[in-house]
Structure 1
Amino acid sequence: MLAVVYKGNGRVALEERPMPVIQNDKDAIIRVTLTTICSSDIHIKHGAVPRAVENTILGHEFVGEVIQTGNLVRRFKAGDRVAVNVETFCGECFYCKRGYVNNCTDPDGGWALGCRIDGGQAEYVRIPHADQGLTLIPEGVSDEQALFTGDILSTGYWGAELAEIKPADTVAVIGAGPTGLCTLMCAGLYGPSAVISIDVDDSRLELVRREGLADVTLNPGDTDVRQRILELTGGRGADAVLEAAGSQESFRMAWQIARPNAVVCVIAMYEQAQTLPLPDMYGKNLVFKTGGVDASHCEEIMRLIACGKLDTRCLITHRTSLDNAMEAYRIFEQKEDSVIKWAIKP
């Protein structure tokens, strides 16, 4: 089968790889019907994910059809359409029972697909712990609607919950890339009085305005973001800040635009260490929350998709087939042609 493989040293390649097989009674084999490229794949390519294993098939954000299940898989059967969770989790360990599936203690637990074990930028893929790692796609929900359920939409949903957004709050989301756009959508579920989207790319802010994902859009290139947010909030600052951009500048902005006693939720993945300037923020009494997504709410997200409360199809700006994946990677990494997300069909 055809697959996109991480080769190390900043290289990915399109290769022929063997078909996956059941290795454990809790496995399922999925025929991939739609996959995509994530910023995390670019981080792997750059060597910024130490746990990533060379010669692993990339891809952790995809949907497909179950073609085979192990003897202990109970919730799914051949023919089911499913979205795949970014994380592998056993459902039984200390962390899984508390919803902290990113820290599952199983050998394949946490972010394994497309990082430490073969992922879904391929024609077929093996899913460990399938009963936990798959979400049934209901009739009426298309592959494109369901594509981002298990990763960036889960990240936005988790981040909005983590940020403790309350009705009538002012919420600022830094970054209007794929994860930031999903975060904007999920923040809106909590009934804030205003959602502010911040990005340096005017084309992405135009998408935010067109889709009605924020009440205010700000570009740091032509606006004093901190001053404008103070004006919008009676001099206080944002009640909740979600940082989804992942740069030194956006990290600094996150704590600067937050009001005293706000929650600052850092959900971006960084390639370099950041510093908390504690003397500068002393007295603001901020709560910082950060980490890798606990993608344990996929069934809730799928219900919200099915009833029209969440619709991420606007993120799909480009479509292609798997045999054109290398060109898709180039365009995505270079952020050419106003790309947001690819939909790649094996």
Structure 2
Amino acid sequence: MKAVVFKDVGNLVLEERAEPKILEDTDVLLEVTLTTICSSDIHIKKGFVPRAVKNTVLGHEFVGKIKEVGKAVKKFKIGDRVAVNCETFCGECFYCKKGYVNNCTDKNGGWALGCRIDGGQGEYVRIPFGDNCLTKIPDSVTDEEALFTGDLLSTGYWACKIGEISKEDTVVVIGAGPTGLCTMMCAKLFEPKKIIAIDIDDNRLNLAKENGYADIILNSSRDNIKDEILKLTDKRGADKVLEVAGGKDTFNISLDIAHPNATVVLVAMYEENQILPLPNIYGKNLIIKFGGVDGIYCDKIMKYIEEKKINSTPIITHRMDFENIMEAFDIFENKKDGVIKIAIKMK
């Protein structure tokens, strides 16, 4: 089969690989039907993910059709259409039992797919712990509608949950890229007073506004963000700030625009160390939460998709065939043609 392989820092190749096989009774073998490229794949390529294993097939955001199941798999059968969780988890360790699946202690647990074990940018993939890590796609939901269930939407929903968004909140989302947009979609489910999107790109901001993901948009390349947020919040600042951009200054912006005793959730994966400006924020009594997504809400997210309460297809700006996936990487990495997200059809 053909697959995109991380050979070394700066070197991704499309090469022929052997088809995977069932190794454990809890495994599922999946025929990938639709996949995509994530910013985390670019982080791996650039060498910002030290735990990434060379010679691994990339991809942790995809959907497919079940080709084979291990003897212990109970929830799924051959032919089922499923969305794949970006994390694989055993369900039995200390962290899994508490819902902290990002920190599953199994050797194949946490963010393993497309990082430490072969992922979904190939024609077939082995999914460990299939019963835990797959979500059945209803007949009324298309592959495109389900594509972001296990990663982008899971990340956005997790961020909103740990941010404890309420109906009285003014929520600011810094970053209107794919993850930021999905975070806004999920934030709307919690019915906050208003959602404000911040980015440096008008195309992304307009997409957020036109699709109803955000109520107000601000461009930080020309707007004085702190002044604008104060104007919009009776001079207090934001109740909840979800920092999804991971830019050079967005960490400090998130701390600056939150009002005292507010909550700041750091969703972004930073490429460089960030400095906590303790003298500047002393007395603000901020609650700061951060980490990798615990992807335990996929069933709930799929239900929202089925009920049309979430629609992430507008963020798909490009559609390409798998044979052109290396071109897709170039477009996505270099943000050509206003790309937000690329859906890559396998056949």
Structure 2 residue 185 is matched with structure 1 residue 185: yes
Equivalent residue, structure 2, for 1:258? 258
Could you tell me how far apart the structure 2 residues matched to 1:50 and 1:88 are?
19
SS at match of 2:309: coil
Q: What is the identity, as a one-letter code, of the residue corresponding to 1:59?
A: G
Equivalent residue, structure 1, for 2:285? 285
Equivalent residue, structure 2, for 1:201? 201
Equivalent residue, structure 2, for 1:127? 127
Equivalent residue, structure 2, for 1:341? 341
Structure 2 residue 33 is matched with structure 1 residue 33: yes
Q: What is the identity, as a one-letter code, of the residue corresponding to 1:147?
A: L
Structure 2 residue 231 is matched with structure 1 residue 249: no
Could you tell me how far apart the structure 1 residues matched to 2:331 and 2:158 are?
28
Structure 2 residue 93 is matched with structure 1 residue 93: yes
Query: Over aligned residues, Cα RMSD in angstroms?
Result: 0.6
Report the CA distance between 1:9 and its aligned residue: 2.2
- 1:226-275 deviations in whole A, cap 9, x for unaligned? 00100110110000000000012111100000010000000011111101
Retained in 1: the 8 A contact 2:9–2:44? Answer: no
Q: What is the identity, as a one-letter code, of the residue corresponding to 2:134?
A: L
Report the CA distance between 1:7 and its aligned residue: 1.0
SS at match of 1:248: coil
Equivalent residue, structure 2, for 1:23? 23
Could you tell me how far apart the structure 2 residues matched to 1:232 and 1:343 are?
36
Retained in 1: the 8 A contact 2:83–2:149? Answer: yes
Equivalent residue, structure 2, for 1:55? 55
In the alignment of these two chains, the number of paired residues is: 346
SS at match of 2:203: helix
Structure 2 residue 330 is matched with structure 1 residue 330: yes
Q: What is the identity, as a one-letter code, of the residue corresponding to 1:26?
A: T
Could you tell me how far apart the structure 2 residues matched to 1:221 and 1:105 are?
42
SS at match of 1:265: strand
Could you tell me how far apart the structure 2 residues matched to 1:210 and 1:194 are?
15
Could you tell me how far apart the structure 2 residues matched to 1:285 and 1:279 are?
12
Could you tell me how far apart the structure 1 residues matched to 2:135 and 2:209 are?
31
Q: What is the identity, as a one-letter code, of the residue corresponding to 2:337?
A: D
Report the CA distance between 1:277 and its aligned residue: 0.5
After TM superposition, list the pairs within 5 Å mapping 1:267-278 onto structure 2: 267-278=267-278
Q: What is the identity, as a one-letter code, of the residue corresponding to 1:97?
A: K
Could you tell me how far apart the structure 1 residues matched to 2:62 and 2:266 are?
24
Equivalent residue, structure 2, for 1:103? 103
Q: TM-score, normalised by structure 1?
A: 0.99
Retained in 1: the 8 A contact 2:11–2:45? Answer: yes
Could you tell me how far apart the structure 2 residues matched to 1:267 and 1:332 are?
20
Could you tell me how far apart the structure 2 residues matched to 1:181 and 1:213 are?
7
Q: What is the identity, as a one-letter code, of the residue corresponding to 1:320?
A: M
SS at match of 2:24: coil
Equivalent residue, structure 1, for 2:309? 309
Report the CA distance between 1:222 and its aligned residue: 1.2
Could you tell me how far apart the structure 1 residues matched to 2:242 and 2:119 are?
28
Could you tell me how far apart the structure 1 residues matched to 2:6 and 2:184 are?
31
Equivalent residue, structure 1, for 2:71? 71
Retained in 1: the 8 A contact 2:236–2:259? Answer: yes
Q: What is the identity, as a one-letter code, of the residue corresponding to 2:44?
A: I
Please, which runs of 5 or more residues in structure 2 have no aligned partner? none
Report the CA distance between 1:168 and its aligned residue: 2.0
Could you tell me how far apart the structure 2 residues matched to 1:216 and 1:257 are?
15
SS at match of 1:48: coil
Equivalent residue, structure 2, for 1:154? 154
Q: What is the identity, as a one-letter code, of the residue corresponding to 2:299?
A: E
Q: What is the identity, as a one-letter code, of the residue corresponding to 2:86?
A: V
Report the CA distance between 1:337 and its aligned residue: 0.4
Could you tell me how far apart the structure 1 residues matched to 2:345 and 2:231 are?
46
Could you tell me how far apart the structure 1 residues matched to 2:163 and 2:255 are?
13
Q: TM-score, normalised by structure 2?
A: 0.99
Report the CA distance between 1:279 and its aligned residue: 0.5
Structure 1 runs (4+) greater than 6 angstroms displaced: none
Q: What is the identity, as a one-letter code, of the residue corresponding to 2:235?
A: G
Q: What is the identity, as a one-letter code, of the residue corresponding to 2:319?
A: R
Could you tell me how far apart the structure 2 residues matched to 1:215 and 1:151 are?
24
Equivalent residue, structure 2, for 1:42? 42
Could you tell me how far apart the structure 1 residues matched to 2:334 and 2:259 are?
35
Could you tell me how far apart the structure 2 residues matched to 1:166 and 1:210 are?
24
Could you tell me how far apart the structure 1 residues matched to 2:80 and 2:176 are?
33
- State the identity as a percent: 60
Could you tell me how far apart the structure 2 residues matched to 1:221 and 1:134 are?
40
Structure 2 residue 220 is matched with structure 1 residue 220: yes
Report the CA distance between 1:345 and its aligned residue: 1.0
- 1:163-214 deviations in whole A, cap 9, x for unaligned? 1111121000000000000000111111111100000001101101110111
